[in-house]
Structure 1
């Protein structure tokens, strides 16, 4: 029997940032003893997975060191939307041996990767009520190369990989731990907005009912601001973080004010580029919140539509969603919960994965934790592996 750990570091490798959360079990208490976040090296990770394992390993090592992580064991999620398939299935009740054979058949027929060698696993998430004929099982499949790359990154960073998890199950642990009583018998749609992808997962009483990933994220809004205002990507990111306000965009898809996009080829005298041979163009005036909001309308509408599709599909199967919760770096956009609540007609909150945990992270200030807490949902959930598995 495997030894149960009382401490572990949860690792979440994203295309924009790498997050780590050291979790310790101290009696009945769960304590967060380290939190860290660093930028992912440019081009090292995308929706297909880890491209540059050396660069990722070095960045991960920096995150572990700067945050003061001291434990040796790690739990990490597979990076990249296209590197893992997670699916929930309703299957007839059967004994463990029958289930093993049945799930092998399900896995073989659901492999979506060109690579033939895969690693797979499954877990019963709901055995159903007494007398029920069916039970719910979650299945995960990933190319072996993605698993080996993740293992190599963690090893190069100086840690031993205790377990590999998938994002929806890590988030399930976070939801149950932080909101178990408050969300008791409620069906919750948790929207994890990353840089390039968004995970839309539906839970009830800590159990995963429906996972889905879509290829859009905060990068879409940043690019829209950059294109619209004629500024660089980093400048657009700053504008999005500090000036944009999604609550000022109507759920019908219009900003409170409309502006013409910056045109670098406009005629002289119209605020654009000079005539040939003239001086360089005057800098674009500083964008205010209304100008930024005008260029995130379409991206917000697309995000809301994807969430709506997931909820409507779940409803078509007889389910009902009662609340939306947002996490991930993209959830930091001011007013996003208000916008989605208006667009979808449901209460919408920002997820705090630390609200029921003790925080004793000496290298993470209260301001740091408050400003980034929604970004640590997966890393904390991975660390909570020691409390559930």
Structure 2
């Protein structure tokens, strides 16, 4: 690969909204946000042409770039943290591909896999495909090496690759969304990342993902099949109420809608509480606050409900905390409303620029 560009577009190919950021790196390594955009998309694409059409619409608003880093949200993707004897990652990757059932309780022959030691920052090789999983991951012993194992279905990788080639902007980085979020938090809040235990809760459309880290190390990853789609169904009484009206009532803090919200969010809160308990039971550390991202994090009612249910502060975090902003006035005014959902796109771009 030739010399890396000093600017990059980071794309978050979500299951409901595509997000993108355009970042430039100055000579002194400072990062500058020069543009961002988002577009609502279907949950699934029938072909690479369909995907390319929506990517092109997003890129049209973001502008041109020589480099692109892509992050993927996919409920079928795989993420585990496993303990194995110290093994070269190429050897371990091949072993897991053919013997995944024994180690991961899942067949992996149809996945593109990547592996990285947990002691390294996630995705440090710049091409890791790492994703959510429905399972807990535990650290039992320090006598073995802990590895992050991530994968994406081969057909999905091909569809994305074909689509990016069609828009004439091949992705130099392909990662899964949770790892990008973890990487973005490292850049945005280095003191917390390197010196504390923390929980990142990303509220997606179909799934919500929990990432627990401690002193720079990814400790636990878990995803729950609950997100904005499920909450939306609850708020609209299975579409009996207009969706836009329901979300407006949530934004206004309507007491009746707040009760519906609390009932719906209780399942997610239980899963978050269980994950915190698991982490604190395994390590002599505590989680004191939860950092929330995703479109749902825009609603104070949702943040307050989660805080009440969990007994911990739930606060939004800004992936652009350490970045400069050089945006047109209209985009600058919109940024305070949009940054909560740019964590994954930022993480993908950060990974390209620091690799």
Number of matched pairs: 330
Aligned to 1:377: 343
Match of 1:196 among 201, 206, 221: 206
Change in 2 beyond 3 A, CA 1:309/1:364: farther
2:162 is paired with a residue of what secondary structure?
helix
* Aligned residue in 2 for 1:72: 66
Residue 120 of structure 1, CA deviation: 0.9
Structure 2 match to 1:218:
228
CA deviations over 1:279-312 (Å, ceiling 9, x no partner): xxxxxxxxxx122213222211112112112222
Equivalent positions of 1:21-40 (< 5 A) are 21-27=21-27, 28-40=29-41
Q: What whole-Å deviation, never above 9, does each CA across 1:334-368 have from its counterpart, x for those lacking one? A: 13333323322333220111111011133752221
CA RMSD across the alignment? 2.5
1:51 shift after superposition: 4.2
Structure exhibiting the larger radius of gyration computed from Cα positions: 1
Which of 142, 155, 159 is residue 149 of structure 1 equivalent to? 159
Q: Is the alpha carbon distance of 1:159 and 1:79 closer, same or farther for their aligned partners in structure 2, counting shifts above 3 Å?
A: same
2:14 corresponds to: 14
Q: CA deviation at 1:33?
A: 1.3
User: Which residue does the alignment assign to 1:4?
Assistant: 4
Residue pair 1:323, 1:347 contacting (<8 A) in 2 also: yes
Deviation of residue 236 (structure 1)?
Answer: 2.8
Matching residue within 348, 352, 355 for 2:314:
348
User: Which position in structure 2 is the counterpart of 1:207?
Assistant: 217
**Runs of 5+ consecutive residues of structure 2 not aligned to the other structure:** 122-141
Q: What is the CA–CA distance in structure 1 between the aligned matches of 2:247 and 2:303, rounded to whole Å?
A: 19
Output the CA distance in 1 between the equivalents of 2:233 and 2:7.
40
- Tell me how far apart the structure 1 counterparts of residues 289 and 262 of structure 2 sit (CA, whole Å): 23
Instruction: Please identify, of 51-60 and 174-183, the stretch whose mean Cα deviation from structure 2 is larger.
Output: 51-60
Gapped regions of structure 1 (runs ≥ 5): 246-288
Q: Distance in 1 between matches of 2:271 and 2:201?
A: 10
Contact 1:197–1:215 under 8 Å retained in 2: yes
SS of structure 2 residue aligned to 1:211: strand
8 Å contact from structure 2 (residues 98, 109) kept in 1: no
Contact 2:73–2:177 at 8 Å: present in 1 too?
A: no
- Residues 183 and 18 (structure 1), Cα distance of their counterparts in 2 relative to 1, 3 Å cut: same
Superposition deviation, residue 237 in structure 1: 3.6
The answer to which of 144-153 and 376-385 deviates more is 144-153
Secondary structure of the residue that 2:218 maps to in structure 1?
strand
1:109 to 2:103 alignment? no
Listed one character per residue, the Cα deviations across residues 143-185 of structure 1 (whole Å, up to 9, x for unaligned) are: 2101011112223334211111112221122111111124441
1:31-50 to 2 correspondence within 5 Å? 31-41=32-42, 44-45=43-44, 50=45
User: What is the CA distance between 1:9 and its match in structure 2?
Assistant: 0.9
1:62 aligned residue = 57
- The one of 313, 328, 332 equivalent to 1:366 is 332
The DSSP-based 3-state class of the residue aligned with 1:314 is helix
Matches for 1:128-277 after TM superposition, within 5 Å? 133-227=143-237, 230-240=240-250, 242-243=251-252, 245=253
Q: Decide whether aligned partners of structure 1 residues 35 and 230 sit closer, same or farther in structure 2, where only a CA change above 3 A counts.
A: same
Q: 1:3 to 1:133 in 2, by over 3 A?
A: farther
Structure 1 counterpart of 2:293: 327
Match of 1:309 in 2: 274
Name the structure with the higher helix share. 2
Cα separation, partners in 2 of 1:183 and 1:108, compared to 1, 3 Å? same
